[in-house]
Chains A and B, each alone.
Chain A
Amino acid sequence: MAGEELFYLPVTDLARRIEAKTLSPVDLTQLYLSRSEKFGPRLNAYARLTPEIALAQAAAAEKEIRRGHYRGPLHGIPYAAKDLLAVKGVPVTWGAKPYADQVFDYDATVIEHLNRAGAVMIGKASMIELAGGMNYRFASASLQGEAKNPWNTNCWTCGSSSGSGAIVAAGLAAFAIGTETWGSIICPSAFCGVSGMRPTYGRVSKYGAMALAPSMDKIGPMARSAEDCARIFAVLAGHDPKDHSTLAVDKAAFTYSPSMELKARSLTVGWLTNAWKSVDPGVAKIADATEKSLHKIFPTVHRAALPQGPWDDVGNVIMGTEGAASFRELIRSGKVSELADPLGQINGYVNEQISAADYWQASKIREQLQGKMADLFDSFDVIATVSQPLPATSLDFNLETGLSFPDPLGAIGNLCGLPALSVPCGFTDKHLPVGVQFVARAGDDFGVIQAARTFQGHSDWHKRHPKLI
C-alpha cells in the first residue's frame, strides 16, 4: 500500500505490518519525510524536520526487526515531538524568537522513552511561543507562523500543540507528542479531528521539557485513535527520579493491551450540563447527537454537573504566576519584547505582579476542588462533554476577545491533574471537526481510554481525514 491511506493508518496497523516485515520502517519514514517536506511548510506544522536522525533510527529499527528483535508497537514508527522537548544536539526553540538558537546536550525523558521503544523522530512540531505562557492574541504567536488546519487552511489548529495537531491530521507522521498546561492537547485535538490524550499529572516525566506552569504542565500523545494514544502513553509513562513531580513507580507506570478491556468494568458516564456557557449552534447539534449515542453505547449515562466555583480564576492565577516565574529572566531582561504576539510581549509584566498570598489562596482552593471532584467521581467513572464549544477559528481571529470564554472543565481538569482524552465526534456543516472529551479521576487513565475506545468502536469519525492539495 503506497497510496494516501497509508499515511492515515493508525499506529496499531502500522505496527502489525512492521512486525510482520511487510512494511519497512525506512520506506515508511521516507514516505512521511517526503510528505512532510511537501505539506509541512504549507501548514507551518514543523519547527524543523530531522531527516538524519529519522533515517538513522529507521535503519536501526529495520535492522533489529529483521534480526527478530521487535521492541513493541512503536518500533519503527515515525513521530514528531513538540518543539519544547530537548533532543540532544537539535535546536529547540520553544516556539519563540528569544530561544531560536537554543540547543541542549541531553534528551528529555520522554524522548529517551521513545528512543528505547524504537520510535523514529522525523521532526520537531511547531508550537505557540512558550506554549502560550505569556498569553497570546493571535494564531501567529509562533516563531514558525500560524499553524494552518489541514481541514481548512484558512482556519487555525488551536494551540499550543499547534504543529502536533496539524501533523497528525495531515498524515505527516503516525503520531505526535503534545503538551498541555490548560487546553493545549485537548483543543488542537478537537480542532484538528485527531485523538489526543492528557495523562494524569505526574505519570509522564517533564524532565527536559520547557517549564511553563510546573504544577500544571503535562505531556501526552496525539494520534489517530484512543488505542494509539494508549499504546504511546504506555511508552511515555513512568516514574523518573529526575522529575520529582512524577508519581511513585507503581502509580506512574501504565501498561496496555486491548484484552484489558474485556475484563474492564462497565462505565458509568456523566454527560456534563454546565461545562460550557454557550455553544456554537453547529457544535450543539453534534453535542446532542453525541449524548444520544453515548446512551446507546454505555449502559449507564446520566446528566452531571461540575461543582460551582471560581475555577477559571484559580487556574489563571496559578498558571499566570508560575508562568511569570518560569520566564522571569525573559521578562526582566526585556527580551520578552521579541515575542511575536503583542499580548505576549506585555502580559508577563502583569502576571509578575500577582502576590504570593494570592497564589497561596489559589492553591488552597485547588486543594478543596480536588475533594469536590473526588466526590463527583464517586458517582461517575468518566464525565464527558464536547471538547470545545466551537469549531476551528479563522487564522486572523482575535483570540483574546473571541476565544476567551469560561472553561471550568479545562480549569478543573488541569488544576486537579485529571486525565482526559478527546476524540472526534462529528463535523460541522463547514466540514470542521468537533471533539468529545472524556475525563476521569486522577490515576484512572485507563478509564478515559476505555471510554474513548468504546466510543470509537461505535463511530468512524476518527477514520476521516482531510484532502490535502
Chain B
Amino acid sequence: MADKPEPELRADVASAEGKTRGGMSRREFARRAALASAVASIAPATAVRARTPTFGQSTTQDPPPPAAAAAQNPMPGAPKLSAESQSEADARFQAILVLYGARFSAEQKNDLHRLCAVVQPALDHIRAYKVENGDGPALYLKPQYEREKKPKVAAAPAKPAPASNGPGKKP
C-alpha cells in the first residue's frame, strides 16, 4: 500500500493529514490524544450504548438513545458518539495516521476512521463498569517453579537467529 500514489483525500481526512504534515509534533499530538482520552474516561455517563460483535471485533450498533447522541456523525456505519468519545476516536485515527499514514488508500483511511469510532463504545462501556482499586484482574503471573535447572553446556558458536520464534514459543 505504501508504494501506491496518494489518492485524493476526503475533506476531513485531508484536513487532519494537513495538520500532521503541517508540523504538529508527535509530542503535541500525544498530549492532545491523552487529553481527549482523559476527558472521555471521566465522562462514562455520556457514553452511548452500542452493540458489538460476535466473530472478531465490534461492528454494528443499536441506535443510541437520543440524549446520548451528542455528536453528528458523518461516517456511514459508524456509531453516534458523545463529543468526548468522538474526540477520542478521532485522536485514535490520528495516531494511526501519524505512525502509518502513508500506507493507506483514501478508502482505507475512511474505513479506519470509521473503525476507530466503532471500537469506542466498547471502551466507554467497560470504563463505565464499576471496579474497585483493589479488584484483581483475571491475569496472574505463574512463576516457573516447575522448570528444572538446565545443565550447563559448553559454549557453542552463535547461530543466526531464526526468522520466527514459532507459534507458542517464547522469544
Contacts and interface: CB of A to CB of B under 8 A. Distances in A.
Interface of A: 84, 86, 92, 94, 102, 104, 106, 108, 132, 135-136, 158-159, 182-183, 187, 206-211, 215, 241-245, 309-310, 312-314, 316-317, 319-320, 334, 337, 342-343, 345-347, 349-355, 357-358, 360-368, 370, 399-401, 403-407, 410, 415
Contact of A351 (B57, B95, B127, B168): B57
B21 to A, nearest CB: 19
B149 interface: no
Interface string B16-36: 000000000000000000000
Contacts of A364: 131, 135-138
Contact of B135 (A206, A241, A367): A367
A201 to B, nearest CB: 11
B66 interface: no
Contacts of A241: 146-147
B135 A182 contact: no
A337 B103 contact: yes
Nearest to B132: A364
B96 A316 contact: no
Nearest to A312: B52
A13 B102 CA distance: 59
Contacts of B58: 312-313, 316, 404
14 contacts: A86-B166, A136-B56, A208-B168, A215-B139, A244-B142, A342-B108, A351-B119, A353-B96, A361-B129, A364-B135, A368-B131, A400-B60, A403-B53, A404-B53
Given A92-B167, A206-B168, A310 B122 contact: yes
Contact of B119 (A314, A334, A350): A350
**Most central of A210, A309, A404 by chain B CB within 10 Å:** A404
Nearest to B59: A404
**Most central of B37, B56, B57, B116 by chain A CB within 10 Å:** B56
Interface of B: 1-2, 37, 41, 51-60, 77, 92, 95-96, 100, 103-104, 108, 111-112, 115-116, 118-119, 121-123, 125-129, 131, 135-139, 142, 144, 146-147, 164, 166-169
B18 to A, nearest CB: 20
A278 B168 CA distance: 38
A399 B103 CA distance: 25
**Most central of B2, B100, B119, B138 by chain A CB within 10 Å:** B138
Identify whether the interface residues of B are mostly helix, strand, loop, or mixed: loop
A387 to B, nearest CB: 11
A191 to B, nearest CB: 11
Given A312-B122, A345-B108, 18 more contacts: A135-B57, A208-B168, A211-B167, A310-B125, A313-B121, A313-B123, A317-B126, A334-B103, A342-B108, A346-B111, A346-B115, A347-B57, A351-B119, A355-B37, A362-B126, A364-B131, A366-B138, A403-B55
Nearest to B143: A244
Given A86-B167, A108-B167, A159 B100 contact: no
**Most central of A187, A242, A349, A358 by chain B CB within 10 Å:** A349
B59 A401 contact: yes
Contacts of A367: 135-138
Nearest to B139: A363
Contacts of B147: 241
A337 B112 CA distance: 13
A352 B1 CA distance: 19
A370 B129 CA distance: 15
A169 B37 CA distance: 48
Contact of A399 (B1, B55, B166): B55
Nearest to B97: A349
Contacts of B2: 334
Given A337-B1, A363-B137, A403-B55, A320 B126 contact: no
B162 to A, nearest CB: 9
Contacts of B139: 215, 363
A135 B146 CA distance: 36
Contacts of B118: 350
B137 A104 contact: no
Given A104-B167, A211-B167, A334-B100, A132 B119 contact: no
Contacts of A342: 108, 111
